[in-house]
Structure 1
């Protein structure tokens, strides 16, 4: 495949003239528009590595926050998901990484929390993954506790880096280089934001327009989606939002392949439930729009990357993303 994207700079999809949906975005159009939500990355590149860690750190995690998990296809590893299903809360930050580093990241997250809470005796770390083995020497399992702690300690409420960073450094989606993407929607009662780690197959589709690419011959096709809000939702309602996040993958062309681990975890920073089910139409729309846009941002913000064993994933040419004039 010829690469006609070498001269372009990373961009967000709105900068290319693509506007997803009709709801207004938050000020940053990012998951960090949800008050109290921070994001940090640690990125490893060079010497056959393109991998990293991404940390989503909400205020109040120490005393548990309402949450839910949705599984589109369970071909993956989401550490801690069964307890979230059972109890309906998260009690740690949420971390994302490469497949074979999942358990090292979980252990390092536990250490980070124990260092801050001398009385803790039981923890349920939340760590998700996608397989970055096409562009990174995944068998080396290079993530160390220092990498994990750095992502957690540097998490901020600024606009998170997107594309080839953190847990998205070595991922690809829909035939192109992808990575981390984020977006948000503002509602009258609060904000809904999404962050994605995109690494799945299908035919890239932008506002209904297909953009074909040569398939990337890579093992592991998955997507991790984190949805944050400050709406007063309970765990059952959050599970409904999480399912809509997985539905949104179809809008950008996911083929939901048999080997794709497609997961969404949704949480709220509000501790006051009481949102009526009949009023969920707007939050559902906000999730679908923010996830769709986050997935597109994960592509347009990424850069052509050559990694392990000379494998290359090409950035999507922005001229093919821009709407026809």
Structure 2
């Protein structure tokens, strides 16, 4: 890692939230009971890790939560996808990691769950683990991640503010020519007679030309070096809400999450693995579909901001062989937003 200017989130730059207010921490953890933890590896040859999204309600008393899955482009390795889609449920925390470590991480997550109280007689369980490729900045073939990193990420899972940028599963990712990583955001949304929170967390690793609030931010203009090359060209998105949506409605939210990628400039290349998982921790009857438009709109806004935060908060990373992904220069971002009248 090389020194960077202090990082800022989109809200810190003065860009408004859109139609709905941001949550207290502007993070997926604003959804009650949703925790996030990271395990991060930074060495001269490794920039990689694990990020855990943990619904605290999952356990012996509540074995599954309603969930939906949307696949923007299926060039990826989302362990547990078919059962999630078939049953409309998640049974474990959702873990994100590096492409070639995904199977070791899935096995470690399964082992962790089987050791939990109430799971002594469990004979089938569906771990959900997503990935993007951090091979531009990390020796991905070494498959360095496993039990210890999964345990660290799960143990570290907490509410409140979420570390973003070059941490956890985003330690070595690249997005839109800049250093990418982990980003998060949330919105408070009226739905029918209720008011709910929707939060998003992303692992960004895709190509295209960055756009922030409609203002182009081409990497070849903002960085005085060749743009970083995206390997694997993918994005994982996790959406959580306390609205008591059913699996079908959550799938509709997940589709909107995929749509948000275009809002920040993704080119949805042939080799991109773009997935969105949406789950609910809510209880009660699902709201009528006719009332869902605000929640669907808020999903787009929260995911788009999370994607931007993943880049704004990332720090420059360098591999020993010379590959370098630069942090986006925030002064240039601020200048372009001001010139466009956004801030």
Q: Give me the TM-score of the superposition, normalised by structure 2.
A: 0.91
CA RMSD of aligned residues (A): 1.2
Aligned to 1:30: 27
Name the SS of the counterpart of 1:95 in structure 2: strand
Name the SS of the counterpart of 2:338 in structure 1: coil
- Deviation of 1:232 after TM superposition, in Å, equals 1.0
Q: How does 1:78-117 map to 2 (within 5 A)?
A: 78-116=78-116, 117=119
1:84-142 C-alpha deviation (Å, 9 max, x unpaired) = 11001000000000000000000000110111121211110000000000000000100
Measure, in 2, the Cα distance between the counterparts of 1:280 and 1:24: 17
1:165-219 C-alpha deviation (Å, 9 max, x unpaired) = 0000000101100100000001232100000000000000011111111343342
Gaps of 5+ in 2: 221-226
Runs of 4+ in 1 over 3 A off after TM superposition: none
Aligned to 1:204: 210
Aligned to 1:77: 77
Measure, in 2, the Cα distance between the counterparts of 1:272 and 1:105: 33
Name the SS of the counterpart of 2:36 in structure 1: strand
**Is 2:338 the counterpart of 1:324?**
yes
Measure, in 2, the Cα distance between the counterparts of 1:114 and 1:198: 30
Counterpart among 118, 121, 124 of residue 123 in structure 2: 121
Measure, in 2, the Cα distance between the counterparts of 1:165 and 1:92: 22
Aligned to 2:239: 227
Measure, in 2, the Cα distance between the counterparts of 1:274 and 1:220: 37
Aligned to 2:137: 135
Is the 1:38–1:57 contact (alpha carbons within 8 Å) kept by the matching residues of 2?
yes
Measure, in 2, the Cα distance between the counterparts of 1:286 and 1:167: 25
Aligned to 1:157: 159
Is the 1:20–1:292 contact (alpha carbons within 8 Å) kept by the matching residues of 2?
no
Is the 1:134–1:308 contact (alpha carbons within 8 Å) kept by the matching residues of 2?
no
Aligned to 1:48: 45
1:266-316 C-alpha deviation (Å, 9 max, x unpaired) = 000013232110111110111000001001100110011102522100011
**Is 2:199 the counterpart of 1:193?**
yes
Is the 2:206–2:230 contact (alpha carbons within 8 Å) kept by the matching residues of 1?
no
Is the 2:7–2:330 contact (alpha carbons within 8 Å) kept by the matching residues of 1?
no
CA spacing shift, 1:67–1:211, aligned 2, 3 Å: same
Aligned to 1:277: 289
Aligned to 1:167: 169
- Deviation of 1:69 after TM superposition, in Å, equals 0.6
- Deviation of 1:50 after TM superposition, in Å, equals 0.1
**Is 2:296 the counterpart of 1:288?**
no
- Deviation of 1:6 after TM superposition, in Å, equals 5.0
Name the SS of the counterpart of 1:224 in structure 2: strand
Is the 1:59–1:269 contact (alpha carbons within 8 Å) kept by the matching residues of 2?
no
